Structure formats: structure tokens, C-alpha cells
Amino acid sequence: MIKSLSVENFIIVENLNLEFENGLQVLTGETGAGKSIIVGAINIILGSDIHPGMLLDDSSPAKLEAVFDIDNENKKLTKLFNNYDIDISEGEAFFAKEIATNLRSKSFINGRRVSKDIIKEFRALLIDFHSQRDQQKLFDTDFQLEVLDIYGKLTNIREQFTSKYKETESKIKKLKKLQNTESELAEKIKLYQYQIDEIKKIDPAIGEDSKLQVELNLLTNAEDILNIATRLEQEIYEKENSVYDAISSYISQLAKFKNDNKNIDEAVNFLQDASANLDNSINSIREVQNIIEVDSSRLEYIQSRLTLLNNLSVKYKQNIEGILEYRNSIQQQIDSYSSGKEEISDLNDEIVVDLEYINKLSEELSAKRKKAAANFEKEIIINIKKLAIPDAEIEFKISDIKNSIGASERLSALNETGKDAVDIFFSANKGVKLQPFRIAASGGELSRFLLAIKKILSDRLDRRTIIFDEIDSGIGGKTSELLAEFIHDIGKYHQVLCISHLPQIASYSDRHFSIEKISGSKSSEVKVKILDGNERKVEIARMLSGSDTELALQHAAELINKK
């Protein structure tokens, strides 16, 4: 509820501070006294548009602030504060608006600047303005369904349904995406599997082609290498006066003198090393000879293998390392395809179970709505007849939705509120056919109908401040007293701010504010006073007859006492 309101330099208000309480707060005063300025200030604080003429003094900014008492039981409201990390541990929230001289404005919550959109989110949960625009909501079939669910205390089951519906809808979207991916992959999988089998059959290894090329070069020159090896061995070992024999002879001859001279000693050692190196050279050449002579078919194999590897590289336009990477990549896609098919199957099974559940829940919700609608109709008729529509008839027509826009085919008979479409049919006169509310109801009937709904639902709604701005327009006589009772009954559950010209409504107030405009030679000033006791009686007498005559005061006292 609103605990206090402060207004500075706004329209004709220089400085104003008000404190409010629970229950019905009535604001009265002569026409043009400034009553609507108070409601206007609250509207501006909570996001309404700024217009020229809102500054009393164009050279100074306007400052508006409303302090709200926050009900921790209102889960939606506390969640919204938490979402924006706004501290309400003290149980209060300060909403402020500053309007600069250029009419640009800033909004604040607890001193922190916030956007207009955020302010409007809070507005919907803090304040209920009963206005012409508010009445238009009655034409909205979604709103009609919402009030029916609130009346039937079906909010929990509806939220349960909505949550499961959205979860199922999300699963269906995921399933479609998986199926599309699976369909696209299915066309490629056969090719991928063929390619993997082809690569697997050849089974290339990284670096294999380089090694084979080296071996191929060796085997291609085998005849020349064998001839060289034969001649080399002959020259070193076999022919008369061979290299080996000559070195051995010189080693023996010089060995006699190696102790006589250091250089001779070194020469002998070098010759011995040369002899050993000749042995090693011949051994290495013999190894090559063995390779060439043992596997005469090796050349054919290597040539064939290199042809396979080369053809594979040409086909895939990559070297062996790239081909193996490509193979791993398409193998992953094949594995993904297989696991995707399993996921599709599992997800489809889940959706079947979910659909069975939400269809059952929608039937349960629909049955409860129809039962609640019958009782709601009776209560609305009883209450609206008290508001001078004696022949009113009403019917909640509940039908299956035709098709939920944007939902999948598997959810086409549902939307996130269930299976029901609701349309209120209304007639204000005997013998007149019931028609949709948007066709049949006048502005005055809309206002009274909405008031009746608010009264009926007042104990079922989250606590908030309800503002009635001259709801009593065009109402008089016995209806005035019944209207006052209605508003007072709503005030038992919610804080109500009501601007009124009706003494009957004023007599039911829990707190009565008198608004007076005092005109000076250069400017006007708005004064607000809380009325108690005799002052209140005098104001109600003025509202009754325009003066505080003894008869008017007596009548005022009777109205106050009747409450």
C-alpha cells in the first residue's frame, strides 16, 4: 500500500505531503480543487507520460515521491524486487520521479535510477487504477479467463498446467530440430560410411608414403647398387693386392716404428681405423644386398601401395594426415547420428507421456472452470443488480480453443492456459439476447461490472492499492449507498484511494481527506486536511446540500453512524 506521498512544484501544487493508511481513503473537495492532481502524481511516479504544464514554476524541477509498504506475502512483487536486486528488507520501497525544466524525467527506486519500463512492471503489481482504460480489459477474453480462474481459486493448477505446457512445447521444438538435423544427416551418412570403409580398407598411416618413397628409390636402383657392392667388395678384399691387404701390410710395417715417433704412432692408428671402417662399409653394403635379394616382390608392393595412397590423396584433396582427420570428423557425425536417433526416440517417448498428463490436467482445469463459472455468474448478477442494473443477465461461454497460434500440431488443441476459450455474454435488459460483452455493454455498465468483479475477487487477489477516480459519476440515490458499501468492502482487503463527490462514499471512509484550492492574486495553492469528528460531518453535510445547515449536519451524522 501507499504509506506516503510528497509532491513539489507539480501543476498547482507547491509542496504537499500526505500520509495514508489501510482501508478506504476518500478524497473530497469542490470541483477543480486538485483532487485528481494527487492521483496524477501517483500515475506520473509509476510511469505515466509527462506533458507540458506539469511544472508549477517552469524554472524549477518537480519532485514526486511515493513510499510503498511491501507485503512479503505477495510473491510476484517480492520476486520482481529480487530480480532487479532492490533491497526491501525494511519492508518499504521509495519510488521517486524528478521532472527537469525541459520536461525530461528520471525515475528512482530506493535511490537507484531505473528505466520507465521497469517502473511499469512494478506499477502492475502495486496499483490498480479503476479507469476507462481499465474497463477495456473486460473486452479481452484472456482477462475474462484470468478473473474466472482467480474466482475459482484455480491459479495454482493453471500455473502447474502452464509450466508443463511450456516444458512440453520446448521439448517438441527440440524434437523438431533434432528430426531436421537427423533428416539432413541421413542423406550424408551413407556417403560418410562409404568413405570411412574406403579409408579403413586402405588404412593409411601418417608418414607411410614418405617411408615407402625412400624404399622405392632404393629398390628402383637395386641393379646399380648390387654391381657397385660387388666391385667394392672385390676391390677391398678379393683381388690381388686388395685395399684391405695393402692397408694391413702398411700397418704391420709401420708398427715396428710407432714407438720411435709420435706421428708414426698416429698414422698406424688412423690406418687401423680405416681398416675397421672398410669392414663396416662392407657390412652395411651386404645388408642392402640382403634386403634387395631377399624380397624381390617388395618393389611391386611398394609401387602398388604408393599408387593407392596417392589416389586417396588426390580424391580427398588432402595428405594422409588430413585424410585421417577427415575420417575422424565424419565418424563423429555418424556417432552423433546414431545417438541422435536414440535421443529422438527417448524425447518422443517423454513427449507422449507429457501430452497425456497435460491433456488430463486441461480436462480437470476445464471442468473446474465450468463449475466455477456457474457460481461466478450468480455472484456477479447479485452484485451488479445492486448497482442499478436490475435486469442484468450474464453467461460465461466456455468452448474449446480452435487452434493455438504458434503451437505445434501436437498441442493444437491447447494453449498455455489450457483447452478453454472464454467469452462473457451479457444483457442489461429483459428480452434482449445475450451478446459478447464487447458488443452489449455500455461504458457505465462496464464500470459497474468491473467494480462487482473487484468486490467479489477482493479476498482472492494479492494486496495492492486500488484507485477509483470519480467512479460515482452519474450515480445517485440508493445506488450511491450500495456503491459505497462495495468500495468499503474492497477496502477490507486492499488499500483504496477514492476521489468522490458522493457523501455516501465519504461516510464509509476509514480516512477522509479534504482537498481545497486557495486562490491568491498571482497563484493558487492546494491544501489537504485529514478530517475527523465534526470536521468530517461538516464536509459530508456540504456534499449533501452545499452547506452545513442543521438538517444537513443531522443527515451527515446519520450517514456516518449507518456505517
Condensed to tens digits (0 to 9), the pLDDT of residues 248-290 reads: 887 888 888 777 778 888 888 888 888 888 888 888 878 777 7
Percent of residues, the chain, with pLDDT higher than 70: 95
Average pLDDT (453-476) is 85
Q: Is 553 left (phi over 0), alpha (psi -120 to 50) or beta?
A: alpha
In this structure, the chain runs to a length of: 563
Give yes or no for a contact between 528 and 514, defined as CB atoms under 8 angstroms apart: yes
Q: How far apart are CA 285 and CA 225, in angstroms?
A: 9
Long-range Cβ contact pairs of 324-331 (< 8 A, separation 24 or more): 324/199, 324/204, 324/206, 326/195, 327/195, 327/196, 327/199, 327/200, 330/192, 330/195, 330/196, 331/192, 331/196
Instruction: State which H helix or E strand residue 96 sits in.
Output: strand 92-99
pLDDT band at 472 (very low <50, low <70, confident <90, very high): low
- Output the pLDDT for position 392: 92
Q: Which residue has the higher pLDDT, 59 or 271?
A: 59
Domain 1-132+460-531: top CATH class = alpha beta
Which of 88-97, 258-267, 367-376 has the lowest average pLDDT?
A: 258-267
Tell whether the model's pLDDT for residue 37 goes beyond 60. Answer: yes
pLDDT tens by residue, 167-201: 999 999 999 888 888 887 787 888 898 999 999 99
pLDDT digits (tens, 9 = 90+) for 380-406: 999 999 888 999 999 999 999 865 444
Render the burial of 118-134: b for 16+ CB within 10 Å, e for the rest.
bbeebbebbbbbbbeee
Domain ranges of the chain: 1-132+460-531, 186-331, 533-563
- Letter string b/e over residues 449-480, b meaning 16 or more CB atoms within 10 A of that residue's CB: bbbbbbbbbbeebebbbbbbbbbbeebeeebb
For the residues 314-333, what does the mean pLDDT come to?
A: 92
Q: Which tops the pLDDT comparison, 452 or 521?
A: 452
Distances (CA, A) of 536 to 320, 327, 472, 502: 99, 92, 19, 13
> Which of 5-9, 457-461, 478-482 has the least mean pLDDT?
478-482
Secondary structure of 415-444 in the HEC alphabet? Answer: ECCECEEEEEEEECCCCCCCEEHHHHCCHH
Write out the H or E segment, with its range, that includes residue 303. Answer: helix 298-316
Q: How far is the C-alpha of 431 from the C-alpha of 414, rounded, in Å?
A: 36
Looking at per-residue pLDDT, the higher value among 160 and 35 belongs to: 160
